[in-house]
Structure 1
Amino acid sequence: MGTLLTQLPALLGVLVGTLGTILATSLADRARWRRSQNVRWDERRLDAYVDYAHALKESYAVALRMTAHLRPGSHSHPIDRDEGLVRLAESDARRTVVWENLLLLGDEPTVVAAATWRDAVWQVERLARGIVGAPTGISEQLARVNEARDGYYRAARQSLGVRGGSVEQSAALRQALTDRTMVAADSAVRANDG
């Protein structure tokens, strides 16, 4: 019994050390698991954000090609209306599928920004489909699309924790559109004068 009492502090030390090791290992494993889950979901969220942007840009590019004749100085390659309608239908189907992933994985600000961008593109698509007549302010519609896209990318970058400053394009695109419109108008005046 005397030996047990002399060895009791050592046994308690081993027991406390073992329990401490188990606890520390468990906490470290739990933290590692959380980090791996966060990385896993961030990768999927990034894929959802990129897939949605690609699908929406595809629809927008087709709509731009279908409305090229309405925009003096446009660099869009015109497309046959029937072919354009088929492509719009196909891209709309793809966009609908990737929208579901975005709803599942995206955070609220990014989903709201995505819906704003989608709505702006829909206005150009409605024009391309002939649902609405040619507006006098098509340049403003295109500017809204670009601003909404900037808002989407800003929200997506925030959601993913991407740093590095602004990547907004709308101001530069608005200026380029204004410059092309002025050149086209100037060319039309010269043609009428000549």
Structure 2
Amino acid sequence: MDWLRDFSANYADGVTAIVAVLALALTALSLNAFRREYRAKYRPYLVPAVRAVEIASSPEEMGYRLTIHPTNVGPHPCWVRLSDVKMVLGDELIIIDSMEEWSLIGTQGASAAFPAGEIFPLGVKRIRDHEYQLNRVEVHFTLHSKSIDDEHYTSSRWLFEVDIRGESPSVLYRPDLLKD
């Protein structure tokens, strides 16, 4: 009967220890869930766009300056960086200097402009006269973003087609042309 007396004396301590371990496990699970929710809330929400701005020395000599505009549509600022920036002009591949530093972008529609190349009048003429096998302009780049606290990092590849055959340029997002 000694074991029964020991059990009765230590029963309260055992139950307290088990409840404490369960409370600690529940606390750890709750903190993990809150951390995931916090990270999802503060992750960067970026939407890139490519713009073509006319640069003309005369009406016959029309060229275009291409810029990449990553826009932060989220409620929190984030860091952004571009790499592997290329412009394909017809059959020519033009590699643009990549941005190695991180740039801070503000919230709710804030944007920054990064150079993506220039199309000179000769290139416009060659595209419009169908002198290339592939008569289009493409802008390829990799967009890297991270949250302010460096907890969430994303990297995505983008491809935009710039149609300069008409009066004014039009830019289209073309994920179907991306090659892995």
Q: Judging by fraction of residues, say which structure has more helix.
A: 1
TM-score normalised by the chain length of structure 2: 0.41
Question: Which protein, 1 or 2, shows the higher relative CO under an 8 Å CA cutoff with sep ≥ 6?
Answer: 1
TM-score normalised by the chain length of structure 1: 0.39
Q: Judging by fraction of residues, say which structure has more strand.
A: 2
